[in-house]
Amino acid sequence: MRTALWFLAIFSIAVLSALFAGNNDAGFVLLYFALRALSVLFALPKQAKQWRSLQKERALNAHLFNAQSHFMAGRYLRARKAALAALDMDKAMGDVLGSKNSDNRLENAPQLRALAHVMVAQSAHALQDKVVRDEHLNLALEHNNPKASQETREGTQMLAAQWALDDRDAAGALRWLNVLSQGAARRTAALRLKLKASQLDHFNAHSLSVALETTRLLAKHRAFSNTASESLLRSLVTRMLSDAHDVAQLQTVWRGLDADERKQADIAIHAASCLAKLDGDAQQIRTWLLPAWDKMVAGAPELTATSQVILVQTMQATLTAMDDNWFAKIEQAQINNPRDARLQYLAGMACKARKLWGKAQQLLQLAAPRLTSSENQSLQHQAWIALAELAEQRGELDIAAQTWKKAALLG
C-alpha cells in the first residue's frame, strides 16, 4: 500500500510540474535553480566535514614526513617527537582515523597509525631506548584491521629482526623471521637477515645448515656477485665438513651438497682431507679428489699452491692402498708435467710405497731441491726424510746423515 501511495504521489508531482512548466518556461528555470541552490546548501555541512578531515589528514601526513626526514638526517629525538605528534593528533581528532562514521573514516587509517608507531620505535632503537621501542613495536603490530597493509606488517617484523641482530640476539631475530609469511620469508631482505642471524649464532650445526641453504637462495636471487657467493658457499661448506666428527657424519654432509659444489676443487680437496684424517676409505678419498686431481694435472689456475699441497698430502695418505690404475695416473701425470715438483714428489712417494727404491730416489732427488717455497715446505721436509731413509736402506750412512740434517733444518 505504501509503495502504491509513493507512485501516486510521484505521478501527481509529475503531472503538476508538466502543467505548470508547460506554458511557463521562466518559472521552470527559476524552480530548477532554486532546487540546485537548496541541494548545494544542504551539502555544505558534509563538504565542510570532509574538508576538515582532509586538512587533518594532511597535517598527520606532514608529521610523518617530518619524522622520516629527521630520522634520515640522524636527528632521532626530533624524529620521535614528530611521530609522537602524529599519534597525538590522531587521538585529539576524536579517533577520526578509526571512527565508525563513514564520513570521517580514512581508508588507510590503520596503516598510518602503524607507520607512526614504527617511526617512534625506529627512533627509540637508534637512541638505545629499548623500552619505548618495544612498546611502540607491539602497538604497531597489535592491530588486525584487514585494511592495514600486509607489507607494512611484514616490514615491521623485518625491522624487529634487524633490531634483534643489532642487540646481538640471534635467536630473537630468527623468531621474528619465522613468523613471516612464506612469500616474505623468501625475499632477499629477509634472507640476508637470516644469514646474518646464522652468522651471529656462531655457526652451530643447525645454523650452519640454515646458513648454507639461505646462501644458496641468495645466490639464486643474485643478491651477491658470483665471486662473493662462491666464496661464502665455500667457507660454509668447509666449516660443515670440518665439524664432522666421524666418517658417517662427513658422508652425510657430502651427500647434502649440490653436484656443482662437489665439483669445486677446494671443497673436494677439503672433504677428502677430512676423510683421510678420520681414517676413511682410501678409494673414496681418491674418488672425491678426482675432479680436483684432473684440474691440477691440467694446470687449472683456480687451484692455489696451498690447495695443491693439501691435495698431494691427502693423496699420499692413500698410497699404501693404491691400485694399479691410480698409480699409473700419478706416473703419467708426472711424465706429462716434468717441471711440476709436487707431482714429482707424489710420484716418488708412490714408488717408495711400492718398494721401487731406485725410481723413488730419482724422483725425490729431483723434487726435494725445488720445493723451496713456503707452501711446499712440508713436502720438502717429507722428501728429505724419505731420501734419508732410502740412503740408510742402501747403507750410505754419510749421505743419510746429511739428508737427515736437511730435514731437521725444515722441521
Locate 20 and state its grid cell. Answer: 505548470
Q: Which helix (H) or strand (E) holds 54?
A: helix 25-72
How far is residue 407 from each of residues 2, 342, 380, 383, measured CA to CA in Å? 118, 17, 8, 8
Locate 143 and state its grid cell. Answer: 592491530
**Alpha carbons 299 and 297: distance in angstroms, whole number:** 5
pTM value surpassing 0.85: no
Cell 694399479 -> residue: 324
**Alpha carbons 64 and 57: distance in angstroms, whole number:** 11
How far is residue 90 from each of residues 83, 106, 147, 184, measured CA to CA in Å? 11, 11, 17, 30
How would you label 256-278 residue by residue, b for 16+ Cβ within 10 Å and e otherwise? ebeeebeebbbbbbbbbbbbbee
C-alpha 5 chain-centroid distance: 73
Per-residue pLDDT of the chain (411 residues; tens, 9 = 90+): 556 555 555 555 555 565 555 555 555 555 555 556 656 666 667 767 777 777 777 888 888 889 889 989 999 999 999 989 888 887 766 554 444 444 445 567 778 888 889 999 999 999 999 999 999 999 888 865 555 578 888 889 999 999 999 999 888 888 998 888 888 888 888 888 888 888 787 656 677 788 888 888 888 878 778 888 788 888 888 888 988 889 999 999 999 888 888 888 999 999 999 999 999 999 999 999 999 999 999 888 888 999 999 999 999 999 988 888 999 999 999 999 988 999 999 999 999 999 999 999 999 999 999 998 888 899 999 999 999 999 898 888 888 899 899 888 886
**Alpha carbons 136 and 87: distance in angstroms, whole number:** 11
**Alpha carbons 257 and 237: distance in angstroms, whole number:** 8
